[in-house]
Amino acid sequence: MIPDTETIRARWARVQDNLRADGVDAMVVVKPQNTFYLSGYTPMIYSHPVLVVLPAEGEPVFVLHALRAHSSRTVSRISDIRPYGRWAKEIGPDHWWQVLAEVMAERGLSDARIGVEGEFLPVTYQRRLEHTLPGAAFSDTGQALMRARYVKDAAELESLRVACEIADAGMDAALEAVAARRSEVEVSSAAMRTMQEVWSGRHPDRLAMDFGNLEGGVFNALWAYSLVGDRVPMNSAPPTSRRPVDGEIQWTVIWTAIDGMHAENERSVAVGPLPAERQRAFEALLAIREEVQPYLRPGLTCAEVYEAARESYVRHGYGDYLPGRIGHGLGLGPHEQPSLGPTDDLVLAPGMALTFEPNLRIPSFGGLQHSDSLVITEDGHELLTHTRRDLIQV
């Protein structure tokens, strides 16, 4: 579901406020998540560069290949669309930088201070920008846009809720498969089959998409993988035919994206009775979660939340196993800013979407982790994933 024009315009205004505060006259945006955020349109495959020119004052311009001209005019909330290249009867200048030069000249921005996404922009693009606009001064304004994305608008939160609903359904299927002692790949497949059914049955008009790159696209982003025992510390390894045995812990990860908005649901499951060391670790992690969760509220910094976690880990005897962070931002990226880590001083505010994922990685047996998606509210937070969070034992 594409956000309406009013929602998209509000996004422009937030970014433009930040650009003016940074003393920037315009921003050239190329990161797929950001061009989607500002336009509501994705070509899915980004083999032809896609650019949004967002001036600090006035309307943005969409620069994309002629192949995408028809679909972008149908979907995009940016009305000024400038194609380059040729596709059937749609003909523009040969290259994107030629169109960019025309746009900047029209807007009186050829010699302006131009912002770019320093953490993303390929070197070849940067060189082409400098050659095309030799009188301009370039600066990294990626954070001006990211700051605007921290607090989610109503359309983003609606999509996130659907993504969480689908993730919960996938986790329910995964837990059933673990109870049946299925392999890693069988658990993963069961979760993904269920998510496809929920998407097509309940939300067929939503986009289960993620963002592509210069070589491919992601047309379906309802993902799952599962790891058993000593494979858990691999963290993001492909699932295999490995099956659990009694006494092991199986960890399943669900990542979904609806309308570009990412959700996360992760659960650890005790397969049969656990040895004492693993039982104690599982119980301690649940206690840590319970003690730290009240700190997920507006007005505290990410670092303060992490410090509360550090103290809890130490109190329960697991200070040597403290992770580098206990959660991260969610949105158009599955792992975006902010980070619930020791050095992030961002103050939590209502509308921020995060994961909450205290975890343990213990070499003697693997590790365990429950992860939930949530949104910060006016007086605390709301958990958006609802799978049981206790010591799950099958």
Could you report the per-residue pLDDT of 255-294, keeping only the tens digit for each?
A: 999 999 999 999 999 999 999 999 999 999 999 999 999 9
Q: Note the pLDDT of residue 191.
A: 98
Give mean pLDDT, residues 160-177.
98
Contact 19, 144 (CB under 8 A): yes
All residues at 6 or more sequence positions from 203 whose CB lies less than 8 Å from its CB, including other chains = 162, 166, 258
Contact 62, 72 (CB under 8 A): yes
How far apart are the C-alpha atoms of 42 and 213, rounded to whole Å?
Answer: 11
Q: Note the pLDDT of residue 1.
A: 75
Q: Note the pLDDT of residue 2.
A: 81
Could you report the per-residue pLDDT of 103-147, keeping only the tens digit for each?
A: 999 999 999 999 999 999 999 999 999 999 999 999 999 999 999
**Starting at the edge strand that comes first in sequence, how are the strands of the sheet with 26-29 ordered?**
81-84, 61-65, 51-55, 26-29, 113-116, 137-140
Residue with tokens 């103050």: 347
Domains of the chain: 5-149 (3.40.350.10), 152-383 (3.90.230.10)
Give mean pLDDT, residues 46-70.
96
